[in-house]
Amino acid sequence: MTDRIRLLPDNIANQIAAGEVVQRPASVVKELLENAIDAEASHIKLIVKDGGKSLIQVIDNGVGMSPNDARMSFERHATSKIKQAEDLFRIRTMGFRGEALASIAAVAQVEMKTRLKGADLGTLLRIEGSELIAQEEVICPEGTSIAVKNLFFNVPARRKFLKSNAVEMQHIFQEFYRVALAYPNIHFELHHNQVEVYNLHPSKLSRRIVDLFGKQYRQQLIPCKEETPTVKIHGYIGTPQQAKKTRGEQFFFVNKRFIKHGYLHHAVMQAYADTLPEGNYPFYCIFIDIDPEQVDVNVHPTKTEVKFEDERTLYAFMLTAVQRALATHHIKPSLDFEVNINFPESLSDVRSIHTQGEGGTGSKSSGSGSFQSKLPKQSTKDWKRLFEDFEAEQTLNIPLEGEELELFQKIQKREQEQQSGKVIKVSSRLNQIDDEEESSKQAFSPESEPVFQLHEQYLVSQVKSGLLLINIKAAKQRILYDRFLQQIRSGKRFAQQVLFPARVSLPAADRTLLQEISPQLQQVGFELEFLQSGEVLVRSVPSDLQDEPQHILESFLEQYKQMHTDLSLAQDEKVARTLAARAAHRLPKRLSQEEMQSMIAQLFASSNPNFSPYGERILVILDAQQIAAMFE
């Protein structure tokens, strides 16, 4: 029998390792920026082309490398950080595994220029697919410049699965934010497709946050600080009013290393309990300074997941630090801290805090320190509680005949009489009837079947067998969704010119996303101009959106990012859904009889009168038997 087990060639082993380290262009950006920081650079420049697919280049003014070090840096498990096993528990640098450059060189064309400080000449290396193409002496500035070209050029299957340039650039922005926030004392530059996106001079952390995310953050930052003999927590959190429905602006740093930690995130969310709308996430940028021997960063190849020696006590520290910051700025009452301002005497006491917060990251359950008002709360239950027993009996699929069909026929008949035109078939699945049957129905008359508005949220109308209830917001979303989608696909524009063109300031990641979907936005009435200064000039907006351009774009992008990763929807459908939700957000509190009748007519002429674009139920028909059962 022949032997079947053999050692893998280095190039294949490197490609396998690259699968863990290099998942997309943002992974390369992360590793190269961290190497520049470890090189003690004070000025780091990141250059990106085509979302990182064509070029990722990082130029720093760090200590540089000798010719031997430059060559050794591309070998697997070659590092200057680890000399013995005990060093793994005293790590304060960023890269230490010695896998990054070897993995990158295995799946890209890499060119490195580096020169030691004080040396006369530098070193040039060219490597393609782990194969050394050239090594020679060159004249170059002090420090290191690494250019990664044509990522995954030798792994077409991996390159095929990369997303669009805009999506990949979104991930690069996230990595850039993490490094730039961790080191506000370093001068960072970011250039994309020969356009300067960021030029961040050394500054305080608060200034760095404003420079990265926009001037609007200037008014919402709250200092957060808590210090004990074993751990120091400091940074900034955002006000509850500025919380967003999408994640991405939550940053934890342990010894200046960005981490993801659901347990600590839950502590922050618990501190915000009763101040945040459900499903919203606050901004925070929190640093944890702790003895490296109490944290294990060697858990995951990307080094974003860590383990703490005593997570429960750290949870209590984090909870108290955020609560104290909110109370200091009069957002939560100081009474909130009377219970847990003194830390638990034992870990079993902390366990109770953890147990009460097991419900999930965004749980609203109160922890041991949650403030509970003794004043009786006024009932906020709306009228729908009267129908809880029998509404559950309604099936999700409204039948295609009966009252709903008859009402639709009446509306169609009335519109025909008003227009004195021929019968027009609409794209509703309710319109599956014969012309003869349709003509035999009576018109839907506002006088005979009036509509009234209940609690400014629902339309109520009498039908033959009972009562018709319509959710106004969901109905408006369906009507607007069909309208916006038709405009995008047909090319018809309905714009509302802004009296004075408005300059809108957005974070670079949001501007990139806005540029990607600008063709669809132009079809529905937006006229946008992307200025060299980084601002967006708004000349017109859709007529259905009534608000300041700055708020329109910010809220639209926030809503759009919630479905940005949904691969089941086409881009035009995502844009139409988001605009419909945004436009239906603000409805007149009281509708006139004509407006209510028009809304019902448009709803039954829509593509799906039963459900909104987000799957919410639009209408319910209560028959006479159900209504009678309530009085038995």
* pLDDT tens-place string over residues 443-486: 333 344 688 888 888 999 888 878 889 999 999 999 999 988 88
Q: Which two tokens stand for residue 121?
A: 């000449």
CA distance 74 to 185: 29
Amino acid at 57: Q
* pLDDT tens-place string over residues 418-428: 554 444 444 44
CA 420 to chain centre: 50
User: Which residues does residue 451 pair with via DSSP β-bridges, in sequence order?
Assistant: 461
CA distance 200 to 210: 10
Give the model's pLDDT for residue 81. Answer: 54
CA distance 542 to 584: 13
Helices (H), 563-622: 571-583, 593-604
* CATH H-level superfamily of 383-563+571-632: MutL, C-terminal domain, dimerisation subdomain (3.30.1540.20)
pLDDT at 165 over 70: yes
Concatenating the DSSP letter of every residue in 23-89 gives SSHHHHHHHHHHHHHHTT-SEEEEEEEGGGTSEEEEEE-S----HHHHHHTTSTT--SS-SSGGGGG
* Cβ pair 365, 354 in contact under 8 A: no
pLDDT at 396 over 70: no
Q: Which two tokens stand for residue 436?
A: 């003869």
CA distance 73 to 113: 13
Domains 205-356 and 383-563+571-632 belong to one CATH topology:
no
In which band, very low, low, confident or very high, does the pLDDT at 23 lie, cut at 50, 70 and 90? confident
CA distance 273 to 275: 5
* Cβ pair 626, 620 in contact under 8 A: no
Give the model's pLDDT for residue 91. Answer: 54
Rounded to two decimals, the pTM is: 0.68
Highest mean pLDDT of the ranges 199-213, 239-253, 512-526: 199-213
* Cβ pair 172, 198 in contact under 8 A: no
* Cβ pair 176, 46 in contact under 8 A: yes
User: Which residues does residue 623 pair with via DSSP β-bridges, in sequence order?
Assistant: 466
3-class secondary structure, 213: helix
DSSP run (H or E) holding 288: strand 284-290
- Nearest one of 456, 622, 457, 481 to 544, comparing CA atoms: 481
Interval 109-123 mean pLDDT: 93
3-class secondary structure, 442: coil
Burial class (CB in 10 A: 0-12, 13-18, 19+), 476: buried
Q: Which two tokens stand for residue 145?
A: 């410049």
Give the model's pLDDT for residue 449. Answer: 66
Give the model's pLDDT for residue 183. Answer: 95
Mean residue pLDDT of the chain comes to 78
Q: Say which residue, 435 or 506, is predicted with more confidence.
A: 506
Q: ∠ CA 87-90-96 to the nearest 5 degrees? A: 65
In which band, very low, low, confident or very high, does the pLDDT at 59 lie, cut at 50, 70 and 90? very high
Q: Which two tokens stand for residue 507?
A: 């974070």
Listed by start position, the domains of the chain span: 10-200, 205-356, 383-563+571-632
Give the model's pLDDT for residue 583. Answer: 82
Q: Say which residue, 170 or 497, is predicted with more confidence.
A: 170
User: Which residues does residue 47 pair with via DSSP β-bridges, in sequence order?
Assistant: 57, 191
Taking the CB of residue 197, how many other CB atoms lie within 10 A of it?
Answer: 20
pLDDT at 513 over 60: yes
CA distance 630 to 632: 6
In which band, very low, low, confident or very high, does the pLDDT at 14 lie, cut at 50, 70 and 90? low
Q: Is the dihedral of CA 101, 107, 108, 109 positive or negative?
A: positive
Q: Say which residue, 417 or 565, is predicted with more confidence.
A: 565
pLDDT at 378 over 70: no
The shares of helix, strand and coil residues in the chain, as percent rounded to the nearest 5, are: 40, 20, 40
How large is the angle between the packed helices 311-328 and 262-271, nearest 10 degrees? Answer: 30
Q: Which residue has the tokens 């006369």?
A: 120
In which band, very low, low, confident or very high, does the pLDDT at 308 lie, cut at 50, 70 and 90? confident
Interval 251-259 mean pLDDT: 92
DSSP run (H or E) holding 104: helix 100-106
Give the model's pLDDT for residue 218. Answer: 86
Q: Which two tokens stand for residue 611?
A: 């459900």
In which band, very low, low, confident or very high, does the pLDDT at 321 lie, cut at 50, 70 and 90? very high
User: What does R_g of the chain's alpha carbons equal in angstroms?
Assistant: 30
Burial class (CB in 10 A: 0-12, 13-18, 19+), 232: middle
* Cβ pair 307, 298 in contact under 8 A: no
CA distance 378 to 398: 35
CA 390 to chain centre: 38
Q: Say which residue, 330 or 577, is predicted with more confidence.
A: 577
CA distance 126 to 483: 55
Give the model's pLDDT for residue 509. Answer: 85
Interval 254-283 mean pLDDT: 89
The CATH number, out of the four listed (3.30.70.870, 3.20.20.540, 3.30.930.10, 3.30.230.10), of the domain defined by the range 205-356: 3.30.230.10
CA distance 438 to 410: 9
Class of domain 10-200: alpha beta
Taking the CB of residue 300, how many other CB atoms lie within 10 A of it?
Answer: 12
* pLDDT tens-place string over residues 609-628: 999 998 889 999 888 888 88
Concatenating the DSSP letter of every residue in 306-354 gives -EES-HHHHHHHHHHHHHHHHHHTTSS-GGGGTTTSSPPSSHHHHHHHH
Q: ∠ CA 562-163-47 to the nearest 5 degrees? A: 105
Give the model's pLDDT for residue 493. Answer: 65
pLDDT at 359 over 80: no
